[in-house]
Amino acid sequence: MPFVNIRITREGATKEQKEKLIKGVTDLLVDVLGKNPKTTFVIIDEVETDNWGVGGESVTELRKKQ
């Protein structure tokens, strides 16, 4: 029973994009490991950029500098 957790920043991933991620990850586990898609769980967590840090700074602040 595979469990995959995808974490992305909350910046407007569409419903369709999330559905593609879920299907793609599920298909990959079926193709590579022979897992049953009916018992494969894919969770997408969307994290606010203020709550995601890289190199000591929040992603919000890093994006302001770009």
3 state DSSP class of 55: coil
Q: Which two tokens stand for residue 16?
A: 């369709």
| 23-66 pLDDT per residue, tens | 999 999 999 999 999 999 999 999 999 999 999 999 999 999 98
Q: Which of 2, 18, 44, 52 is catalytic?
A: 2
Residue 49: the pLDDT is 97
* Beta strand segments in the chain, E: 3-9, 41-47, 53-54, 57-58
Residue 45: the pLDDT is 98
2 is catalytic: yes
pTM for this prediction: 0.86
